[in-house]
Amino acid sequence: MLLFKSLAQKATASRSLFLNSSFSIRNSSTMFPENKLRFIPTSGTYPLGFFAGSLCCGIKKTLRNDLTFIYSSTPCTASAAFTKNLVKAAPVTFDKSLLDNVKASGTPTIRAVVVNSGVANAVTGIVGMANCEKMANAADKLMELCDKDSKNPIVSSSSSSLNKTLVMSTGVIGQQLPIEKIVSGISNLQGKLGSDHEHWFQAALGFMTTDTFPKIITKRLQLPSGKGSFNLCGIAKGAGMIHPNMATLLSSVFTDASISQAALDNALSYAVDLSFNSITVDGDTSTNDTITVLANGQASTSTGNKWEIQLENDPDFDFFKTSLAEFLKELAILVVRDGEGATKFIEINVTNAGSTEDAKKIAKSIANSPLVKTAFYGQDANWGRILCATGYSYPSSFNPDTVCLYLVPKDGSPQLPLLVNGQPIPFDEARASEILKPEDISILIDLGISKHSATVYTCDLSHEYVNINGSYRS
């Protein structure tokens, strides 16, 4: 508790600092909710060789950061996962094709991501695709200028004609980007990019739409082989249309680890399944869901000992994969904590299911039920709704007579059984209310069939959700 208080104070101090710094573009209106300050870091261990910056170029009606650019001084191994929605935003199509071409060329050339918030560039036809290219071209040009300005200019390893920047957009669907504002905004970022915490923090602010706080985390990890260590930085945004079917609406991870293309692709796919694909705010799978990972290898090249994580026969790979999954889970949880109108963070654990697929299907069905979500909002142990949502998720194995249902207090005190072997258990309503009072709630559904399990994270459905979404465009 003391720690949180101190962090919160630091965050406040840190924000005041930004307001006076040269690149803090009229963020004086930025106020984060008191109970979220503990999730806003005041420092970080950032990956080597990356430079970040953000500004307000005038896409959003409010004067908040809406354009972020992050680049590596050297080419990166790049991997990404995209929405499975059949309606795909232009940047999704653009990035997918760019990454395919880069992989086909056999030479890693991607170095940057450029992100705008406010307009999603989704359902924008040919103009939308052309605007992606304009954004990527402007970003590539900025990077060239930055390379020239650099004290240690790095000779590009490739003369490829492919773009070097991945493009991401988030915001309202069906509107064209104000592309002139964005292109001139990108060029205005020259001289404003850096590798300090403040630069990264501003970059995270530029990802936000209806988010109430920026989501940015970092981690420094030691390879188990002892070959070296590396840094991870992840940024994400929520806060509505969140039911990722590949990744949430925009997340970017940057690392100075050295890793092969095959290993990075495999690790990302594994990690996304356990993190972003295990959260839901409203059951709406966005048209723009994108997560990118850029690995520039500078943690290896900056030392005498060169290393590269490989997919096969490399004990470091399992470590990287598991660490990335844990890291993305932490980031995904922040997205849920900031779900539109959320007052509760709810962990739904399904155990002893017939298959992992069944367990996840049940957990997601519960997580998306408006009746379950409103019951949690009302701090009401209305477990019938949970069981009902279990039943209509139609798992392949289900036995009503072996289902158990518990409230799991987050303070470590004993679980409160509500249903045991399909039979309702008379329970202490006062105790249930006590367990449902804190922000963090956990429930356990034990199917009693086999040994498979899954965890899904979600939030409640509040009056504020209706406020936000009843008037989002206006």
User: Taking the complex as a whole, how short is the minimal distance between the CB of residue 463 and a second copy, in angstroms?
Assistant: 5
237 is in an annotated binding site: yes
State the sign of the Cα–Cα–Cα–Cα dihedral 417, 423, 429, 435. positive
> Shortest gap between Cβ of 382 and a second copy (angstroms)?
5
Q: Are 118 and 60 in contact (CB under 8 A)?
A: yes
The tokens describing 159, both together, are: 């003369």
Cβ nearer to a second copy, comparing 38 with 431: 431
Pairing of the two strands 404-407 and 416-420: antiparallel
474 assigned binding-site residue = yes
355 is in an annotated binding site: no
* Pair 49, 255: CB distance under 8 Å: no
Q: Which one, 148 or 473, has the nearer CB to a second copy?
A: 473
**Binding to a second copy in span 158-197, by CB under 8 A:** 172-175
- Compare residues 319 and 398 and give the one whose CB is closer to a second copy: 398
CA distance linking residue 284 with residue 287, whole number of Å: 9
- Our finding on whether 284 is near a second copy (CB under 8 A) is yes
Residue of the chain from 13, 19, 87, 154 that contacts a second copy (CB under 8 A):
87
Catalytic status, residue 77? no
Q: Please say which residue, 130 or 162, places its beta carbon nearer to a second copy.
A: 130
- The answer on whether 156 is annotated among ligand-binding residues is no
Give the chain's largest Cα–Cα span: 72
Span interacting with a second copy, options 34-42, 132-140, 201-209, 456-464, rule CB under 8 A: 456-464
Interacting positions 310-329 with a second copy (CB under 8 A) = none
Per-residue three-class SS string for the chain: CHHHHHHHHHHHHHHHHHHHCCCCCCHHHCCCCHHHHHHCCCCCCCCCCEEEEEECCCCCCCCCCCEEEEEECCCCEEEEEECCCCCCCHHHHHHHHHHHHHHHHCCCCCCEEEEEEEECCCCCHHHHHHHHHHHHHHHHHHHHHHHHHCCCCCCCCCCCCCCCEEEEEEEECCCCCCHHHHHHHHHHCCCCCECCHHHHHHHHHCCCCCCCCCEEEEEEEECCCCCCEEEEEEEECCCCCCCCCCCCCCEEEEECCCECHHHHHHHHHHHHHHCHHHEECCCCCCCCCEEEEEECCHHHHCCCCCCCECCCCCHHHHHHHHHHHHHHHHHHHHHHHCCCCCCCEEEEEEEEECCHHHHHHHHHHHHHCHHHHHHHHCCCCCHHHHHHHHHCCCCCCCCCCCCEEEECCCCCCCCEEEEECCEECCCCHHHHHHHHCCCEEEEEEECCCCCEEEEEEEECCCHHHHHHHCCCCC
In the list 30, 74, 124, 323, the residue contacting a second copy (rule: CB under 8 A) is 124
Site for a second copy in 367-406 (CB under 8 A): 368-371, 374-375, 377-378, 380, 382-385, 387-392, 394-395, 398, 400
Query: Cβ 452 to a second copy, closest distance in Å?
Result: 17
- Tell me the window of 40-48, 187-195, 344-352, 365-373 that interacts with a second copy (CB under 8 A): 365-373
- Asked if residue 237 binds a second copy (CB under 8 A), the reply is no
Minimum CB distance to a second copy smaller for 161 or for 423: 423
- Report, in Å, the least distance between residue 339 CB and a second copy: 11
Q: By CB under 8 A, how many residues form the interface with a second copy?
A: 64
Contact between residue 239 and residue 209 where contact means Cβ atoms under 8 Å apart = yes
469 binds a second copy (CB under 8 A): yes
| Selected catalytic residue, list 124, 248, 292, 390 | 248
Nearer to a second copy, 113 or 461 (CB): 461
| Residues numbered 414-433 forming contacts with a second copy, rule: CB under 8 A | 418-419, 422-424
Are 102 and 108 within 8 A, CB to CB?
Answer: yes
The full length of the chain comes to 474
What x-and-dash track marks residues 38-77 binding a second copy by CB under 8 A? Answer: ----------------------------------------
- Judged by CB under 8 A, the residue of 117, 169, 255, 285 near a second copy is 285
Q: Does 434 bind a second copy (CB under 8 A)?
A: no
Least distance to a second copy from the beta carbon of 253, Å?
A: 24
Contact map string, positions 345 to 364, toward a second copy, x by CB under 8 A: --------------------
326 annotated among ligand-binding-site residues: no
CB of 210 to a second copy, least distance (A): 11
User: Residue 144 Cβ, how far from a second copy at the closest point, in Å?
Assistant: 34
Are 457 and 332 a contacting pair, CB within 8 Å?
yes
> Any binding-site annotation on 248?
yes
338, 457 in Cβ contact below 8 A? no
Binding-site residues for substrate sit at 209, 237, 248, 340, 469, 474
Tell me the catalytic residues. Answer: 248
Residue ranges of the binding site:
209, 237, 248, 340, 469, 474
Interface contacts to a second copy, rule CB under 8 A: 84-88, 120, 122-125, 172-175, 240-241, 243, 245, 282-287, 368-371, 374-375, 377-378, 380, 382-385, 387-392, 394-395, 398, 400, 418-419, 422-424, 461-463, 465-467, 469-474
